[in-house]
Copies of this chain bind each other. A is one copy, B any other.
Amino acid sequence: MEQLTIKTSTHDYPVVIDQGLRFKLKSFLNKDYPSIYIITDSNVAPLYLDDVYNALKANYHVSYSIVPAGEESKSSRVYFDLMTQLIEAGVDRDGLVIALGGGMIGDLAGFVAASYLRGIDYIQMPTTILAHDSSVGGKVAINHPLGKNLIGAFYPPVAVLYDVETLQTIPFQEIRSGYAEIAKHSMIHTPPFWEQIKPVTLDESLSDATLIRDLIHGINVKAAIVERDEKEANIRQFLNFGHTLGHAIESELGYGKMTHGEAVAIGMLFAMELSEQYFSVTLPIEAFHNWLKRNDYPLTLPRLSVNQLMTRMKRDKKTKNQTIKMVLLKTLGEPVIIDMEDRSLRQQLEAFLEKMVIR
């Protein structure tokens, strides 16, 4: 069992990483919750809902909701439906929400917990590699038709319980999506984290030991940053490396066409190119590109409107005074936030997309 503690302005919470945690949930509940409400999705429910439910039902009043898998469920409609279900189930202020699933469920159920009766406890039980990132740090949100995560809160969980056995059933596309965020953590962190990721191959040869090692490393990078800047006033924005363009591509393509991590991987490539030019440095773009290629990340894009992408990037939550801010790398492990000049950013984006179309 691996465990670390995250400090927040309101409380500390543990991140526990172990096999079979879903069977031992009870020992991690530190309050006598009168009711527990599990929120999960249609992919995860058939696999693990029974395990979680059965681990609790003898001692607690447990209810649950299963929402359709996919980013579309991070909508205002599903959010309000869940509120209705919690009310009807009689969940009160002392209740607990368990977010059982990937990042979508963590964000959605986390925002439900953050705003139900002005906030109740919740536990993150991530079931994807990608969620190693989103489950730690207390950022919760739903989407707006005009952009991702525009409605939400900073609301830390009371625990993150990461049962790595649940990772064994996820498809390779999801593994790729998750490892993109691990790669991101490796690049904004002092080497040799990236050197550790570089040789990893995302296929049947990926061992549990390697996966857990990289997850823990990724969570440690994230935890160190969110502890120092809980509300994203400054350095927490480093975690958005690759996300400015990544989010724009995701929403421009329509959610679900490309995984979050795949879009962020492309965003990282772009941010690295910008960084090389901006700081006249050499970054391991080629090595990263090769790593993505070897691991079957999509590296071509349909023709996308640069205007639309720029508009979407301006809706990024880092944007201030209509100026797009990007996280660039002075060197590996040294991220900085740079105000981008519209015209040159547009030019470089055009050139980058051209390469991605023909590549």
- Spell out A's residues near B (CB within 8 Å): 9-10, 34, 76, 80, 83-84, 87-88, 90, 92-94, 111, 114-119, 139, 141, 144-147, 149-154, 231-232, 314-315, 317-322
Contacts and interface: CB of A to CB of B under 8 A. Distances in A.
Contacts of A116: 150-151
Contacts of A147: 87
A153 B115 contact: yes
Given A9-B10, A76-B80, A118-B139, A317 B150 contact: no
A37 to B, nearest CB: 14
Contacts of A83: 144, 150-151
B154 A119 contact: yes
Contacts of A115: 111, 115, 151-153
Nearest to A138: B118
Given A9-B10, A92-B321, 19 more contacts: A9-B9, A34-B321, A80-B144, A83-B150, A84-B144, A84-B145, A87-B144, A87-B150, A88-B146, A90-B314, A93-B320, A94-B321, A115-B115, A115-B153, A117-B150, A118-B141, A118-B152, A118-B317, A153-B153
B9 A146 contact: no
B146 A87 contact: yes
Contact of A92 (B146, B231, B317): B317
23 contacts: A34-B320, A34-B321, A83-B144, A83-B150, A84-B146, A87-B146, A92-B319, A92-B320, A93-B317, A94-B321, A114-B153, A115-B152, A116-B151, A117-B150, A117-B317, A118-B141, A118-B153, A118-B154, A118-B231, A118-B232, A118-B317, A119-B154, A119-B231
Contacts of A152: 115, 117-118
A149 B115 CA distance: 10
Copies in the complex: 2
Nearest to A117: B317
A116 B115 CA distance: 13
A320 B9 contact: no
**Counting chain B CB atoms within 10 Å of each CB, which of A92, A146, A153 scores highest?**
A92
A316 to B, nearest CB: 9
**Counting chain B CB atoms within 10 Å of each CB, which of A93, A94, A147 scores highest?**
A93
A318 B92 CA distance: 8
Nearest to A140: B118
Contacts of A231: 118-119
A310 to B, nearest CB: 14
B87 A119 contact: no
A231 B117 CA distance: 11
A92 to B, nearest CB: 5
Contacts of A151: 83, 115-116
Nearest to A154: B118
A119 B153 contact: yes
Contacts of A317: 92-93, 117-118
A141 to B, nearest CB: 7
Contacts of A87: 144, 146-147, 150, 315
A34 B319 CA distance: 11
A187 B105 CA distance: 45
